[in-house]
Each structure stands twice: as C-alpha cells, then as structure tokens.
Structure 1
Amino acid sequence: MDLNCDLAEGAPFDHQLIETIDSANIACAFHAGSPSLIRETALLCLDHGVHVGAHPGFLDRANFGRLEQQVTPQEVYELVTFQVAGMLGILNPIEIPLHHVKLHGALYNQTARDLNLARAAVHGILEQHQDVVFYGLAGSAHIQAAREVGMKVWQEAFMDRTYQPDGSLTPRSHPDALHHSTEAALNQAREIASGHVTALGGQKIALQADTLCLHGDGEHAVEFALAVREVLRSGQ
C-alpha cells in the first residue's frame, strides 16, 4: 500500500518523512507553504523517489485551511484550478512530473460529502492535467466524481485520524479525532490493510484503500511513519 504524507506546510519533519513515504502532498501556498518551499520539497522528493502531488486548500492561513467555508462549485473549481496550475508552473521547468492531487483540510472534507463540489474539484484538476491520480476519501463523493469521468483515483484511508460510523473522518473539534499513540495508529493501519476500520463506538466499517495517509504536522509524525513503513513492508 502507498504511504502518503502532507508536506511543505511548515512542520519541522519534512526531510525525515521524505525518506520514509511513497507520496508527498505538497501544499500549494494557500493554506500553508510558499513557491520556494514547493520547489525545495519537490526536489527532495525527486532525490528519494517519492511521488509529487499537489495539495490545494482554502486560502485561509489563519486556520490552516481547516475551517469549513460556504463555497459554490464554481468557487471550488477556481480554487483547485488555480493551485494545480501554480504547482505545474513550478514543477514543469524543473522537469518533475505531477503524480497526483489530494485536497486539503476543510476543502477535502466538504468535497468528500458533497458530490457537486467533488465534481467541480475533479473538473478543475482535469482542466490542468489529464493524466494525474486523484487521492480521495475511500467510499466518498471524491471516488464517485472521479470515476464518473474516467479519472484514475486512489482511495485513501487515515492511520492517525479516527472514523465515524458512516465512514467519515471524526471532526478535529472532537477530543478523540486523532490517534496520539504509535500503537493506536499502527493498529488502525493494520485494520485498513485488511479491509476495514473500527469507528468510534466500536463499529467495524468495510474500507478499501489504495493509499494510507499520515499527517506531516503531527507531533509523532516521524515515529508513526517509521513504524507503519515497517508494518507495510513486512505485511504484519
């Protein structure tokens, strides 16, 4: 299973994480990051054989792109188009291919729930790049919207976030939204690899995943990454 991580967001662990992961979701300088950090991170990914992805979010640095907003499909389309185009403008001159796009934070969550918003995001990506993978929340509107237009999609699951019984991620405002121990994160990663996850409340949810996400700004990000990498490689 692919291991992806959100990078270029100002966290101090990027160099260590790049040595461990398979795919990097590079912030597009809206919710975090900068053009120079995009270029620096992409070059590090190239050195380590890591897939480079764009990570568009809301233009809301004060809330790190994690505060939901009232947006129309047209606004989502414009947000995604602008950020993917900007990423390509940095990657193309240094001849680094864009492998995937994964939405960030509140934009990710809102498009995962709302099919019209998801369709707008997919359309925005395809306007800029016809041959790119869309990383979307497993079983969500992301997957339906991408499949409707024949876009390649990898279903994503999370090792460091908890789940609700409907398969959505627990809101970050909830006290149990995050896993804080390596043991809990690894147990969830093992569950996901076997095709299910345990939601808050104990319900087992079927879950098909192609890529597993680890948040690069987490306090235990490097510890989690090293541990799960060993599990994925060993198949344990």
Structure 2
Amino acid sequence: MNCDVGEGVGNEAQLFPLISSCNIACGGHAGDASSMQRVVRLAKKFNVKVGAHPSYPDIKNFGRAAMDIPSEVLIQSIQEQIAALVCILGKENIRLHHIKAHGALYNTIAKNAELAELFLIAVAEYKKNTLIYVPYGSEIGRKAKEHDFSIAYEAFADRNYNTDLSLVSRSHPQALIESPEAVLKHIVRIVKHQKVRTLTDNTVKILAETFCIHSDTPSAFEIVSYLSKELPNQSIRIKK
C-alpha cells in the first residue's frame, strides 16, 4: 500500500505504521522543505519507502489542472522538485525508492506519449536505481519499458475507474470509494482476477503491484486500518 503525503493533511503519523511506501509532495502542488523533512523523518521511523511526487508547478489548483507550458519549463520544474526531496533524503541517509507523478501530470502522461517521453527525460538521472509508479495500460508505462526504466504498476484503492482505465473525475459524486469494505473488495478483485469493475458496471483488465490510498480521502485512516487487518485473510500478496 502507498499514500500520497506531505500535502497538508497531517495524518502521516497515523498512516505510516500501516503502509509500505509513500509519495511525498515536493513543492509543485504542495509541500516545502519543512514538510518534506518532517515526512521523511516519519518515513524513516516507520521504515516506509520514500518516493517523490512531482506535479505541474501549480499550487493554486493543487496540480489537478493540466498546464500548457514550455517543455523545458516543465522538465526543469520536475527536476527541481525531485532534487529538493533527494537533498533531504541524503541528509537522512535514505534512498529514493520511486517516482510517481501527481494529479493532472499523472493523468496526462498516462494518455499522451509525447508528454510521457518528456517526463522520462526529466527523471532520467534516477533511472538506474529508482522505480516509476505507473498505471497499467498507460503511455508512461509503455515508454518507460521501451527505455529500460524499472516500473511498478499502480492502481487506486479509493477511486472508481472508467472503462478506458482513467479515473472517474473528482467532480463526479462516485469518484471516491470511501467504504473500507468496498475498498477491500475492489483490491481483491484486481489482485485475484486482474479485473476492475468500472463505474458503468463493466470489467476491464488491470494489473497492480502497489495500491494507492490518498491521504486526503476522508476515510483514509479507517481504510488502511481495515485493510491491514483484513488483507492477510484474503490469501493474496501485494508487492511492496
């Protein structure tokens, strides 16, 4: 299980004993040096693997709106965001485990091959020792494999899917899955059957090695607490 953190919610101390990796906001949509240091130290305390969570440079919209900006500006922003976190990790003697794009950037590079290539250029420095968390069936996943990046397929435990494996828009009343029992059912179906049930009640193939719970989902702590108790009873294994 992984969580997007350092985004101002402040519930990391509750979540970290129950998850295996985290994605730390590093200034593009949220976060600053102080929040990054605080969350990194918590991750170290609870042995949680640390990932960078870069986004479009758009604090105003929390990185949830696509931006039409020059390629070199986007590359520089992504690199600066990751470097800021890596600097803190170095001081704490922790390695960067993975990189996961945030919000609109995550969704855009999933569908746009040109922007996926751009993202990989931005993170090429970390290619040798760092995973990229990517959605199954995505352009970023395909391009990353073409360029010999190491990837881990990610699915969202607390979000509903459309038939094309895009996430249901947050503006939709059923975008979130907030019931812990429903989240468990959602995860088990994906792991055991490699299928996800979409909002239109279809089933679509999907693979996942790590599942994300958003720390700002209202029931995030209840979900991860429930999963930590119930997943061991499901005879499934999720990679960390």
Q: Give the structure-1-normalised TM-score.
A: 0.94
Within a 5 Å distance, the mapping from 1:1-236 to structure 2 comes to 3-128=1-126, 130-194=128-192, 195-235=194-234
For these two proteins, the number of residue pairs brought into alignment is 234
SS at the partner of 1:127?
A: helix
Query: Residue by residue, what CA displacement relative to the aligned partner does 1:8-64 show, whole Å, maximum 9, x if unpaired?
Result: 111131110011100010000221111111111111111111100000012222221
Cα pair distance change 1:35/1:5, threshold 3 Å: same
Task: In structure 1, list runs of 5 or more residues that go unmatched.
Answer: none
Partners of 2:70 and 2:109 lie apart in 1 by: 11
Distance, in Å, in 1 between the alignment partners of 2:86 and 2:127 is 9
Q: In angstroms, what is the RMSD of aligned CA positions?
A: 1.5
C-alpha separation between the residues in 2 aligned to 1:129 and 1:91? 17
C-alpha contact (below 8 Å) 1:76/1:117 kept by paired residues: no
- Counterparts of 1:197 and 1:124, CA distance in 2: 31
Instruction: Tell me how far 1:212 sits from its aligned partner.
Output: 0.5
Task: Give 5+ residue unaligned stretches, structure 2.
Answer: 236-240
- Relative contact order higher in (CA < 8 Å, ≥ 6 apart): 1
State the secondary structure of the residue aligned to 2:105. helix
Deviations 1:185-236 (A, max 9, x none): 2211111212111001111011111110100111000001111223333335
Q: Could you tell me how far apart the structure 2 residues matched to 1:43 and 1:205 are?
A: 39
The amino acid across from 2:222 in the alignment is: E
* TM-score, length basis structure 2: 0.92
Residues 164 and 200 in structure 1, CA contact (< 8 A), matched pair in contact too: yes
Higher mean displacement: 150-159 or 126-135: 126-135
Secondary structure of the residue that 2:64 maps to in structure 1?
coil
Structure 2: how far apart are the matches of 1:101 and 1:162?
23
2: CA distance between counterparts of 1:234 and 1:22?
Answer: 18
Deviation at 1:98, TM superposition (A): 0.5
Q: Distance in 2 between matches of 1:230 and 1:138?
A: 27
Q: CA deviation at 1:73?
A: 4.2
